[in-house]
A and B are shown apart, each in its own frame.
Chain A
Amino acid sequence: MHPILSTVLQRLALGVLTLFFVSVIIFSSIEFLPGDFTQAVLGQTATEETVAAFRREIGLDQPAYLRYFDWIGSLAQGDLGTSFSGRAASGVDRSRPVVDLVAPRLANTLFLASMTAIIAVPLALTLGITAALYRGSVYDRVVNALTLTTISMPEFLVAYILILLFASLNPWFPSLANVTTDTPFWERVHKCTLPSLTLTMVIVAHMMRMTRAAIINLLASPYIEMARLKGLSPARVILKHALPNAWAPIANVIAFNLAYLVVGVVVVEVVFVYPGIGQLMVDAVTTRDIPVVQACALIFASTYILLNLTADIISIVTNPRLLHPR
């Protein structure tokens, strides 16, 4: 088998295995709930029968491994279970399927994340590559100092500074990003400006620094020096010699930071009261609505794993050294 193919397959298998273990961890979290959680969900006045029925419904009368397969099976069919909220002690059940809660919010989050990525990725790469090429110049120093400062700030500080400047002192953008499904596209973009600007600032800083380090590292390698010494033009050195080897680190940097975006989105959504999946998760954590928390955690974790996996595979596929096996 071609070495690239076998390495990729190996990596994919490892990724699937990781996903499996992560799903087991997320599933088994419910096992650690204290025994009285049914009462907490149903209320103090719940009768024996309601509690028993509820326990039967979430399958607590079955062994854990059976429930896991049940859970993962219905997950594969797009059924994420039923929310804990909306249940009453009297046995009235107004709870909603988790999918109905998650799906519209997931779309919102993806909108915010892609809007951020479209701005942040080209910006960060340009800044990073130019800073690496003009290393030590005033430009490099300024960009570095700025990014170092934004890295050290918690996301909510960046968010509130932006709100203070662009929503409160100069009312150009709304400070609440309360979009609904029928918000027109451009209004949605307008409302999402500040949240996505916050996320952009946070991840551009990381991405730019990592790109810069990767490029500097690359430019220091012997074959680049050789190309320079043989008198090639700088453009040719960059395009023919540096770039083919730069794809792998750059892809890594992008995927790593998009994975970081997954986490950063939680805090930013709460600041701007954006109806995304991060906000949903935080709400579910405060009300201890475990099925919703599990679903959100699974979505976040699998996105994170898949992005890292993609980065790994891209860096394997684009590695020129693997193209010519010895």
Chain B
Amino acid sequence: MSDSPQTYSAKDEVGQVRARRTRWQRAKIELKKAPLTAWFGMIVISIYVFIAVFAPLLAPFGEAEVTPVPYAPWSSEHVFGTDQIGRDILSRLIYGARNTMGIAFLTTCLAFIVGGGLALTAAITRGFVDQIISRAVDVLMAIPPLIFALMLLSIFGSSIPSLIIIIALLDSTRVFRLTRAVAMNVVVMEYVEAAKLRGEKLGWVMRREILPNILPPLVAEFGLRFSFVFLTIAALSFLGVGIQPPTADWGSMVRDNASLIQFAQYDFKAGITPLLPASAIALLTIAVNFVVDWFLMKTSGLRDEF
């Protein structure tokens, strides 16, 4: 087909490729517009992740390495002193980032796989399957999570695998609620119906038709869930039934060094040592919340009036 400049060709216009921005470019533009709090959150999270990944290289001492002086004060050798049996606090803080965050991350992923999977199954099949799962979740959610976790830990014992499984199961109920609610709006769409009529399998409909359409609220929920799981694990470890020694963990570090706080009058630095791991927990939670807030605002247009 030959075309002269005078004639209009619809095919040509359609054929003109508009230079689209790549994903990376769009992300960069969004990032430039991100508010200060979101930037703060992202920077803090990246630092934490960096520390967690390179923990063995950054830590001056080993995770459970015992040095001769217990309760050593802050010095150039032990930046934050040592704990009750002479382990370097800074090193344990660094390894703690790896353990606490790693376990919380794994738990959250598991909670999303279980809760999200069940929710999508319930939303797609509906009928009595949906009824049974939903009612079961209602009952499980009627028990306060920390209490439920304590009860289950007393039965299965406090090992890291049982900790991960128990908390993941408890949190999956919350994931289930949200996922089912958002998925219900999508499963009634024609394209899902079309996919079903085409004879696609349950897994395919879940992955290819529904999941992409409900992703933004789920990603935000992932952040919030992560900080909840993180706080729950910290609380359990603080209570002495979570992550067990010698594994370094922020919650149990607070517990082990708590008595130092009594000496704050005489040595202020020693007094605030137990607050260090606790603040590390709080800082990460705040950072995650900031990023999630920004992300929610971005993807849903929802905004708390500030």
Contact = CB atoms under 8 A, between A and B. Distances in A.
Interface of A: 18, 21-22, 25-26, 29-30, 32-33, 135-136, 141, 144, 148-149, 152-157, 160-161, 163-164, 168-169, 171, 175, 213, 216, 259, 262-263, 266-267, 270-271, 281-282, 284-286, 288-290, 293-294, 296-297, 300-301, 304-305, 308
B147 A267 contact: no
Contacts of A270: 238-239
B73 to A, nearest CB: 16
Interface of B: 138-140, 142-148, 150-157, 227, 231, 234-235, 238-241, 251, 254, 258, 261-265, 271-272, 274-275, 278-279, 281-282, 285-286, 289, 304-306
B231 A154 contact: yes
A263 B149 CA distance: 11
A15 B173 CA distance: 19
A141 B304 CA distance: 12
B286 A263 contact: no
A29 B275 contact: no
B306 A144 contact: yes
22 contacts: A29-B151, A152-B282, A154-B251, A154-B285, A155-B235, A157-B254, A157-B279, A160-B254, A163-B261, A164-B272, A168-B264, A171-B265, A266-B239, A267-B238, A281-B147, A281-B150, A286-B240, A297-B143, A297-B147, A300-B147, A301-B143, A304-B144
A261 to B, nearest CB: 10
Given A141-B306, A263-B147, A21 B154 contact: no
Residue of A155, A156, A288 contacting most chain B CB atoms (<10 Å): A156
A29 B272 CA distance: 40
Question: SS class of chain A's interface: helix, strand, loop or mixed?
Answer: helix
Given A157-B282, A267-B238, A288 B144 contact: no
A153 B142 contact: no
A84 to B, nearest CB: 11
Contacts of B157: 288
A285 B241 contact: yes
A304 B286 contact: no
A30 B139 CA distance: 18
A157 B281 contact: yes
Nearest to A259: B144
Nearest to A260: B144
Given A21-B139, A154-B234, A282 B155 contact: no
Given A18-B139, A21-B139, A25-B143, 4 more contacts: A22-B139, A26-B151, A262-B144, A281-B150
B235 A156 contact: yes
6 closest A-B pairs by CB: A157-B278, A168-B264, A285-B154, A152-B285, A152-B286, A21-B139
Nearest to B234: A154
Given A157-B278, A168-B261, A304-B142, A293 B154 contact: yes
Nearest to B264: A168
A154 B227 CA distance: 11
Contacts of A175: 261-262
A168 B271 contact: yes
A33 B231 CA distance: 27
Given A155-B235, A305-B142, A160 B147 contact: no
A73 B14 CA distance: 77
B238 to A, nearest CB: 5
A216 B156 CA distance: 46
Contacts of B241: 282, 285-286
Contacts of B240: 282, 286
A18 B142 contact: yes
B275 A164 contact: yes
Residue of B262, B278, B285 contacting most chain A CB atoms (<10 Å): B278
Contact of A160 (B140, B146, B231, B278): B278
A282 B281 contact: no
A160 B150 contact: no
A149 B150 CA distance: 27
A157 B264 contact: no
A281 B156 CA distance: 16
A293 B150 contact: yes
Contact of A168 (B238, B262, B278): B262
A33 B261 contact: no
B274 A160 contact: yes
A301 B282 contact: no
A164 B271 contact: yes
A135 B306 CA distance: 8
Residue of A290, A297, A304 contacting most chain B CB atoms (<10 Å): A297
Nearest to B149: A285
Contacts of A157: 254, 275, 278-279, 281-282
A267 B231 CA distance: 12
Contacts of A148: 286, 289
B261 A164 contact: yes
